Structure 1
Amino acid sequence: MKRKPSERIFDFFNAFIMIVWGLISIYPFWYILVMSFNTGADAAAGPIWLFPRVFTLENYAFVFQYDRLQSAFIVTTLRCIIGPVLSVFVTMLAAYALSKRFLLGRKTLLFFFMMPMFIGGTIISNYVVIAKLGLLNNFLVYVLPGAFGFFAMIIMRTHIEQLPEELHESATIDGAGYVRIFFQIILPLSMPVIAAFSFFAVVGNWLDYYTNLLYVTDRNLSTLQFVLYEIINRAEASSLIDFTKTTDAAQRRLMSMANNTVPTPEVIKMTVMVVVTFPLLFIYPFFQKYFVKGMLTGAVKA
């Protein structure tokens, strides 16, 4: 079909607006990446737009030379593996049980699970609960409190209710119990929902440093986010030292910073942001195809 001039003009402006909007959305990430590869003193001298003016890898060397970074990465990786697996498994079990309308006290359980969404505990009350459970300075504090999520359970329950009832009836006739039906029928058919919420759980565990800040003082259990937070604070503290009140070693450190050999707090922040977000950007494409399908299959009531 021959297109009208007005349609071509509309398509041109539509594509132009989308390209501009895409560049505006991408540029902040590009700016952070560029700043992380530029020397701190040069970055402080003037704005950097597209490419590093004085390229350096010292910013990353400064971050990765931190002695606790390796152990923190191991702790965070274990948390991002154990936490999502436990969370999805517990939530799916609850969703499967609550999808049965003959379950005794079903509405009462739903009301009980829904209350924390509207009435949350304070920092002090949460700390007391964690302490009473013996989770202070315990790795389980990273995975047990987030093992159940009501919102995710509602989506998963709705998805399970949309599955054909004939599957349950045929499996029951063949002698399968609830456990076998759950593992051999419900879980395989729920992979899009499981993949979507697994990624959400991974992101939440990866980016969380609040739990470490409140409940963990053992340095061997520090998470990656908390250690990077300490690196930023240390860099900022180093930049605020007064020349007249420092030792010779501190003075030499400040002089080297002035000579571009030590990163400034600003570029350290940018470098830390790259280190934090790069793993998530790497695994996101593998889960992207499950997002829309996984959320819609459980969010739309059939």
Structure 2
Amino acid sequence: MLKRISATDKVMLICIYVFLALLSFSALYPFWNAVAVSLNVGVDTAKGGITFWPREFTLENYSIILQDDRLLTGFFISISRVVVGTITSIFMTAILAFGMTRTYLIGRNFYMVFFVFTMYFSGGLIPTYLLNRSLGLMDSFLVFIIPALISVWNMIIFRTFFKGLPAGLEESASIDGCSNWGIFFRIILPLSGPVIATLSLFTAVGHWNEWFLASIYINDSSLMPIQTILRQTLNANIVTSQAAVLDSASVSLMESKKQITSKSLTMAMMIVVTLPIVLVYPFVQKYFVKGVLVGSLKE
């Protein structure tokens, strides 16, 4: 038997749906507008009026972007950083969280306070720069990996999830002679699929979007991630400024066409940079509800 909805509830539902629709539109429209601008002739875009659809369709902006060797190298660096950084960070953070669940760990409470303290206080930019320089991380790919090996927030989430697993699983494994490493790899990790998938996505997005480290520690253009290159492009206000980002072949092509502007190239690059990480979401979305709500319910 269906429950009748009162007029007040109907009005409330309508208001909620309208609010969510407007919120979704406000979030999606900037991205959609960037797509429209990137697919429009640059000179025509400069006239204004491009909102939802390109007025003069063209793929020339993407053609120039994809012909630039430096951008392709930046993509390789960014993808390598995401893959290596995500795997190592999740693995090291999970090991730390597993150790923090051991009740027999001496000084466990002290370690926990110490870790949480680092979430709110840091040494600052200059001491961090001096530390990384002393470690030999200048102009090194490892500067993207080592400083991000441990995430205290992710460790807390892992720890909460591990503590929620049935204690009988570890007890039975210990009786059978399984070591801590065996318990971690054979029991804990196989049961942690949702939280691993969720935190892996958050970590990967963080690595993909991060551009600040390269601007400080990297001088070698072959190690520049695509996000740093994009920032340089966004800071360019005139077409000639694009020469600092595009290679000579691309610049010659741009000058020959006379239909390309810095804004159209910038929008095309933004779409190219954003699209890969957007495509990852549908594959891990099913883990979000269970993974994000870890520790929110207690029975």
Q: Alignment partner for residue 126 of structure 2, among 118, 124, 144?
A: 124
Indicate the residue corresponding to 1:38 in structure 2: 40
Matches within 5 A, 1:72-221: 72-221=74-223
1:231 CA displacement: 3.7
1:275 CA displacement: 1.2
Moved more, 178-187 or 101-110: 101-110
Q: In terms of Rg, which structure is larger?
A: 1
How far apart, CA to CA, are the structure 2 residues paired with 1:98 and 1:236?
54
Indicate how the Cα distance of structure 1 residues 157 and 170 shifts in structure 2: closer, same or farther if over 3 A, else same: same
Asked whether 1:291 is paired with 2:288, we answer yes
1:208 CA displacement: 1.1
Indicate how the Cα distance of structure 1 residues 301 and 147 shifts in structure 2: closer, same or farther if over 3 A, else same: farther
Indicate how the Cα distance of structure 1 residues 65 and 142 shifts in structure 2: closer, same or farther if over 3 A, else same: same
Q: Which amino acid aligns with 2:118?
A: P
How far apart, CA to CA, are the structure 1 residues paired with 2:76 and 2:148?
19
* 1:19-63: CA deviation from partner (whole Å, max 9, x where unpaired): 444334322221111011112221121221221111111211222
Indicate the residue corresponding to 2:246 in structure 1: none
1:175 CA displacement: 0.8
Runs (5+) with no aligned partner, structure 2: 244-250
Indicate how the Cα distance of structure 1 residues 159 and 123 shifts in structure 2: closer, same or farther if over 3 A, else same: same
Runs (5+) with no aligned partner, structure 1: 242-251
How far apart, CA to CA, are the structure 1 residues paired with 2:86 and 2:147?
12
Moved more, 124-133 or 20-29: 20-29
1:64 CA displacement: 2.0
Indicate how the Cα distance of structure 1 residues 240 and 153 shifts in structure 2: closer, same or farther if over 3 A, else same: closer
Q: Is the 8 A contact 1:193 1:297 kept in 2?
A: yes
How far apart, CA to CA, are the structure 2 residues paired with 1:192 and 1:4?
36
How far apart, CA to CA, are the structure 1 residues paired with 2:239 and 2:258?
17
Q: How does the TM-score come out when normalised to structure 1?
A: 0.87
How far apart, CA to CA, are the structure 2 residues paired with 1:89 and 1:20?
40
Asked whether 1:263 is paired with 2:287, we answer no
Q: Is the 8 A contact 2:236 2:242 kept in 1?
A: no
Q: Is the 8 A contact 1:155 1:299 kept in 2?
A: no
1:216 CA displacement: 1.1
Moved more, 78-87 or 59-68: 59-68
Q: Which amino acid aligns with 2:89?
A: S
Indicate how the Cα distance of structure 1 residues 300 and 64 shifts in structure 2: closer, same or farther if over 3 A, else same: same
Indicate how the Cα distance of structure 1 residues 301 and 92 shifts in structure 2: closer, same or farther if over 3 A, else same: farther
How far apart, CA to CA, are the structure 2 residues paired with 1:281 and 1:294?
19
Moved more, 177-186 or 207-216: 207-216
How far apart, CA to CA, are the structure 1 residues paired with 2:21 and 2:225?
38
Indicate the residue corresponding to 1:248 in structure 2: none
Q: Which amino acid aligns with 1:273?
A: M
Percent of aligned positions that are identical: 37
Q: Which amino acid aligns with 1:184?
A: R
Indicate how the Cα distance of structure 1 residues 4 and 282 shifts in structure 2: closer, same or farther if over 3 A, else same: closer
Indicate how the Cα distance of structure 1 residues 150 and 10 shifts in structure 2: closer, same or farther if over 3 A, else same: closer
* 1:174-213: CA deviation from partner (whole Å, max 9, x where unpaired): 1101000000000011111111110011111111111111
Indicate the residue corresponding to 1:279 in structure 2: 276
Aligned residues between the structures: 290
Asked whether 1:27 is paired with 2:29, we answer yes
Q: Alignment partner for residue 71 of structure 2, among 63, 69, 72?
A: 69
Indicate the residue corresponding to 1:247 in structure 2: none
Q: Is the 8 A contact 1:97 1:103 kept in 2?
A: yes
Q: Is the 8 A contact 1:34 1:51 kept in 2?
A: yes
1:65 CA displacement: 2.3
Q: Is the 8 A contact 1:156 1:298 kept in 2?
A: no
